[in-house]
Structure 1
Amino acid sequence: MTKAIAFSQYGGADVLHPIDIELPAPGPGQVLVAVRAVGVNPLDHKLRSGAMDGIFPVTFPAVPGYELSGVVEAVGAEVTGFEPGDEVFGAVMGGGYAERALVPADRLAPKPATLSWEQAASVPVAAETAERALDLLGVRAGHTLLVHGAAGGVGTLLLQFARARGITVVGTASEANHDHLRELGAIPVTYGEGLADRVKAAAPGGVDRVLDAAGQGGVLPLSVELAGGADRVLTIADVPGAQEHGVRFSGGAEGVEPYHARAYAAALALEEAGTLRLPLHRVLPLAEAAEAQRISEHGHLRGKIVLTV
């Protein structure tokens, strides 16, 4: 048995509660990880609230958590490259809010000693999403990319991936996060009324692609106009808006080839070069998962929220 945090019905953060779950021994291709830290993402509270019901169905009781860091306790058949005692980080298909979790071996990577447990747990989802978004948008060196919600966990890594590839980024964020964006190599603009004019001033040559990582109402039609077509806009946060405005939505579960290996390699290359920045908005113990999700729902984050186990 292992202790976890779960929800047995849809609702507010208060539906999260402690639970004991029984994990089987790792099967072929699986690794049992003793969790040290787990990242908190918008998907966590969207699933808990029922907002994603029908898109990402869950089975109750459901244990959230899609990225973690920890120590390998056991490996299943056909697993190579990992053994008990190894420090790792990676993506998990739910179940991360727990003392132990079963993780597909191909979603794991060795944790560098230079990264803390909390920093390592903040990498997998943001890195995979950033790599996938850049690829699906077809953005390349010399392009100008507009990112809505650029100061969050995904935006923070995406800006670093983009800068390393010669992509100019204009990022929307609150005024308090503008210095943060500048440090990551982006041109910050404040969201809200008059955004189009501010973007045009920041990018006189126009924007080639737009990524919506915020899901704020009204930005998609404006983005289509700025980019010159719906096919140049991608949202990872607004399913209804995507349907309404003909914009592509990507949540990582649409049959797209997984980007985990490429994403981890990109992040670790920056870490090896000494340039990777992984700001943590808040670190809380696992027992305070409900508070962590409340903070996540409020938005306006700088970096990631992480739970420690």
Structure 2
Amino acid sequence: MATHTMRAVRLHEHGGPEVLRYDEVPLPEPGPGEVLVRVHAAGVNPPDRYLRGGLTSMPGKADSTVGLPAIPGTDVSGVVEAVAADVDEFVVGDEVFGLLRFPGFDGSAYAEYVAAPASDLARKPTGIDHVHAAGAPMAGLTAWQFLIEPGHDHPSPFQDTPHRPTALDAGTTVLINGAAGGVGHFALQLAKWKGARVIAVASGRHASFLSELGADRFIDYTRSRPEDLVRDVDLVLDAVGGPQSRRFLRTLKRGGAQFPVLPGDFDAQETAELGVTVSSAQVRSNGAQLAELGRLLDAGTVRVAIDSTFALADARAAHERADRGHIQGKIVLTVA
């Protein structure tokens, strides 16, 4: 390769979107077990913004793993440019996508090239482009590991026991709060794939979008409180979380479960009295699971909704969009 440098977005300090700088940096070299990927698109995810804002250690890890300047980003889609000697899963020219080195802040996906662990990658579905593929890894794997199969036995840092999904079938009703967002819209489609009945909660502007994805019932939270309208569901997946998450407990039947994607405020006595469980997971990179999700993407069973795209050099604008919230699907950076 003739060039020894590339362009990347880096943080030299923590703060708002204005701290994202478009720099010239050394080209990475793949280490053992890695491939060099020429990035075509990179997904924007909440941890990218947490890192930008000053969070430098993952929940459950005591020490910071981040040194500045740092390249944010974990979701990538691109083409294999070089392969380490001990990698035989991929060859130069393969189109791949993946969630890189998560949980952690060293994915370095906001760049023209990235050195990626081969085990974190899967072949990009041929039926979708790089933009849509880059929107899938973190959000899609989060929904998969909450609803279908964790793929690991590591407990969430917010609980002592490993997460166990609820069996989903035609007799199951699932309520998804934040159904229009990245994780939410994947969770809706995966639940429908398993045959479940899905109640989608979001603001009214997302009603037709969620109906198209297969929602059986839609609740506009700006007009009604879901906890006043719904009873006897088997599972609540709350992709919003926060201190208000516990209000959904009373929508569950006895024996039901609530899965908060983000930390919530729950009372053990209340959950025991209601006869329900609360369980969370921490998404982890998993190329094999991503390959399974990729087959659903290729078949059109699951699709990636794109809220907006921005050029890599315009990462600041992408983060400004993310900070405004009310996202429909995913925000993606494109690399020329």
- Partner of residue 327, structure 2: 301
Identity %: 39
Q: C-alpha distance in 1, partners of 2:56/2:25? A: 24
- Partner of residue 190, structure 1: 220
Check whether the contact 1:145–1:210 (CA below 8 A) recurs between aligned residues.
Answer: yes
TM-score (norm 1): 0.87
* Cα distance change, pair 231–140 in 1 and its aligned pair in 2 (3 A): closer
Query: More displaced, 2-11 or 71-80?
Result: 2-11
Check whether the contact 1:148–1:214 (CA below 8 A) recurs between aligned residues.
Answer: yes
Q: Does 2:26 correspond to 1:22?
A: yes
Q: C-alpha distance in 2, partners of 1:229/1:245? A: 16
* Cα distance change, pair 225–176 in 1 and its aligned pair in 2 (3 A): same
- Partner of residue 44, structure 1: 48
* Cα distance change, pair 114–194 in 1 and its aligned pair in 2 (3 A): closer
Q: C-alpha distance in 2, partners of 1:298/1:264? A: 32
The residue correspondences of 1:74-153 to structure 2 (distance < 5 A) are 74-93=82-101, 94-134=107-147, 135=149, 136-141=164-169, 142-153=171-182
Task: For residue 217 of structure 1, report the CA deviation from its aligned partner.
Answer: 4.3
* Cα distance change, pair 64–175 in 1 and its aligned pair in 2 (3 A): same
Aligned residues: 295
The residue correspondences of 1:66-81 to structure 2 (distance < 5 A) are 66-81=74-89
Residue 204 of structure 2 is aligned with which of 158, 175, 182? 175
| Gap runs ≥5 in structure 2 | 102-106, 150-163, 269-277
TM-score (norm 2): 0.81
Q: C-alpha distance in 2, partners of 1:37/1:54? A: 24
Check whether the contact 1:131–1:259 (CA below 8 A) recurs between aligned residues.
Answer: no
* Cα distance change, pair 148–264 in 1 and its aligned pair in 2 (3 A): farther
- Answer 1 or 2: which has greater helix percent: 1
| Gap runs ≥5 in structure 1 | 201-205
Check whether the contact 2:135–2:332 (CA below 8 A) recurs between aligned residues.
Answer: yes
Task: For residue 112 of structure 1, report the CA deviation from its aligned partner.
Answer: 3.0
Q: C-alpha distance in 2, partners of 1:80/1:67? A: 22
Check whether the contact 2:94–2:123 (CA below 8 A) recurs between aligned residues.
Answer: yes
The residue identity in structure 2 corresponding to 1:21 is V
Check whether the contact 1:29–1:104 (CA below 8 A) recurs between aligned residues.
Answer: yes
Check whether the contact 1:210–1:234 (CA below 8 A) recurs between aligned residues.
Answer: yes
Task: For residue 163 of structure 1, report the CA deviation from its aligned partner.
Answer: 0.9
